[in-house]
Amino acid sequence: MRYSTFLALALTATVSAQASDWPQWRGPYFNGSTDEEGLPSKWSKTENIAWSVDLPGAAAATPIVWENRVFLSGVDVAKDTLQAMCFDRTDGELLWNHDLAKGIRQDTRSNYASPSPVTDGKLAIFFYGNGDLVCFDFDGGRRWARNIQRDYGPLAFFWAFGGSPLLVDGKLYLQVLQRDVPVEGRGLKDRENESYLLALDPNTGKTLWRKIRSSQAVAEARESHTTPIPMLHEGQTQLLIAGGDALSGHDPASGRELWRWAAWNPRRAPNWPLIASPVAGSGVALVCVPKREPIYSIKAGGSGVLDDRAVAWASREAEAVTSEVPTPAYYDGDFFVLSDSRKCLSRVEPRTGKVKWTVGTPGRSKYEASPLAADGKIYLINSGGQVAVISAADGGVHHLIPMDEPAGGEVVRASMIAAHGQLFIRTTRKLYCVGKGQ
C-alpha cells in the first residue's frame, strides 16, 4: 500500500481526502482500493445492516462518501427524471434530492445515471450521460450547472455515455471519446464530431481548457466509456486516457499529450469500444482490451509515440486474464483483474504479469461491476445482486451473500465501495450501508 499512500498524498483535491472517505468512482487512491481495516465480511439483507433506503430506479453510479455525507446519482422511473441525492451516512436519512432533467435513457440496456459523482469535501459534482454537469454544495444548494452537449455538440455514442468525471488537484476533468460521424442520429451532421479532454474550475464550472484527442480508430472502436485516471511517476502526475484504440498520458495542467501507445487493434476492427478504465500501480499502467483480448501493461516514463518496447507484458490466452467491463483494482502491491467474459478473478504481479492465483467467480450471474479491494478482501457484486467476499491472499471464497432479486429486466451494475468502516452496496432498488462503522 506504500505506492497508494504516496499517490494519495501527492494527488490532492481542493480539500485533502481522508483515506476513510471515498470521494470518486475508484476511491481515494483512484484504483479501487482503500487501506481501511475491520470491514464487514459477513452480513445479510437484515443482519449487520446499519441502514437501507429504497431507490426509485436502478442505475450504475457508485455511491460517493465524504465524512457523514453519501452522494448518489440516480433515476426516478415513475417520473422519468434524473436525480442527485444526498444521504446522512449515520442513519440513511435523505438530506436532499433534486430532479435535474426529464428523460432517463436513450437505449434499453442502460440509463444516463451511469457516471458516478465526485466531491472535494466542499462541493458535490454530478454528471449524466445526457451531458448535464451540475454542482451542489453540501447543503444541496446549486452552485452551477451546464450541459456539455449544448456547449460542444451532441454526444455520438451508440450506448449511453458512462464515463465518470475526475476531480484532482483543484481541477475537474471529463473526457469524451466518441465517434467522428453520427450514430443512430446522434452527433453532428455538418462536421466531424471531436473527441476531447476537458478541464474545468470546480468552483465555477468555467472551462479552463479543452484539448482535442485524435484517433485512428473507426466506428464503435472510437467510443470509450472509461474515466481519466491519474498516474504518478518520478514526481510527475499524468492523466491516463484510454479509448479510440490508444492509451495516452496527458499533462494535467494543459491537457497536452505526453505519450501514446496504440498497438492493440492494428486491423482497426470497428466494434472494439472501451469500457474498463485504465489503472496504475508499481510503475506500469494497465489497459484492458475488449473481445477477450489480452491486458497490456505499459511502462511509465515514455515519451511520444511508443512502440513494443514500452510493453512490460501482455496476458496470455491460457491465463484467462482479460476484462471487457470491470476495471481492475490495485491493492497490496498487485493488480486484481475481474474477467466478466471468462468468469474469473486473478491476482497479477504488476512488473512481470505473473498470475499468482485465479479463481472462478461464484454464482451464475455475470460480474460487470468493478472489484473493491480492502482489508485483505476482494468484494465483488454480480448482476443478480450476489456479493462475493474473496480472500486477497489466496482467492478463497469466504461468503456469497444474496442482496437482490432483480426484476423487470433490471440488473446490478454499481460497484461496491468502502468508507469509514462500512460497505455501501447499491442494488437495483436499494442502497445498503453495511456494518457499524466509525
Q: Could you report the per-residue pLDDT of 387-425, keeping only the tens digit for each? A: 999 999 999 999 999 999 999 889 999 999 999 999 999
* Distance from chain centroid for Cα 377: 19
Domains of the chain by range and CATH?
2-434 (2.140.10.10)
Tens-place pLDDT, residues 8-61: 444 433 334 556 999 999 999 999 999 999 999 999 999 999 999 999 999 999
Tens-place pLDDT, residues 337-350: 999 999 999 999 99
Q: Report the C-alpha gap between 327 and 286 in whole angstroms.
A: 10
Question: Is the pLDDT at 5 greater than 90, yes or no?
Answer: no
Exposure letters 237-267 (e unless 16+ CB within 10 A, then b)? bbbbbbbbbbbbbbebeebebebbbbebbee
pLDDT of residue 19: 62
What value does the mean pLDDT of the chain take?
A: 94
Angle value at C-alpha 273, between 269 and 279, nearest 5 degrees: 120
The SS3 call for residue 352 is coil
Nearest of 304, 196, 299 to residue 255 by alpha carbon: 196
* Distance from chain centroid for Cα 74: 16
The SS3 call for residue 7 is helix
Q: Which residues contact 87 (CB under 8 A, 6 or more apart)?
A: 53, 69, 70, 72, 93, 94, 95, 431
Tens-place pLDDT, residues 75-97: 999 999 999 999 999 999 999 99
Q: What are phi and psi of 308, to 5 degrees?
A: -65, -15
Tens-place pLDDT, residues 246-290: 999 999 999 999 999 999 999 999 999 999 999 999 999 999 999
The stretch 122-149 carries a mean pLDDT of: 98
Q: Report the C-alpha gap between 343 and 322 in whole angstroms.
A: 10
pTM of the shown model: 0.95
DSSP 309: G
DSSP alpha helix (H) spans, 12-95: none
Nearest of 192, 94, 200, 93 to residue 143 by alpha carbon: 200
Exposure letters 118-128 (e unless 16+ CB within 10 A, then b)? bbbbebbbbbb
Q: What torsion do the CA atoms of 290, 262, 110, 336 make, to the nearest 10 degrees?
A: 60
pLDDT of residue 115: 98
